[in-house]
Amino acid sequence: MPKFKVVVWCDHCLNDAEGCFGGGTETIGSSFETWEDAQKAASEYCGHLPYGYRVEEDDEY
């Protein structure tokens, strides 16, 4: 059964080496058992911040 990860980035700092996440993306937390768990974590983490995110299958599992 696949696990999921959350990839986040800052829309304002994308491609700015001195910005959030070095201008790139970052994976938050660890792997999540379900897509819903990952989505909930992303919403809680990004809800009050100017971050975009996507939930992806974690290829490491």
pLDDT digits (tens, 9 = 90+) for 35-46: 999 999 999 999
Name residues whose C-beta falls within 8 Å of residue 22's C-beta, 6 or more positions apart in sequence.
none
| Rounded CA separation 46/9 (Å) | 10
Question: Residue 14: inside a domain, yes or no?
Answer: yes
Residue 3 · residue 59 · CB < 8 Å = no
User: Per-residue pLDDT for 59 more than 90?
Assistant: no
Instruction: Quote the percentage of the chain above a pLDDT of 70.
Output: 100
The mean pLDDT of 8-18, rounded to a whole number, is 93
Question: Residue 16: inside a domain, yes or no?
Answer: yes
Question: Residue 22: inside a domain, yes or no?
Answer: yes
Tally of domains in the chain: 1
Residues constituting the chain: 61
Full domain range(s) for residue 36: 4-54
pLDDT classification of 30: cutoffs 50, 70, 90: confident
Question: Residue 60: inside a domain, yes or no?
Answer: no
Question: Residue 59: inside a domain, yes or no?
Answer: no
Question: Residue 43: inside a domain, yes or no?
Answer: yes
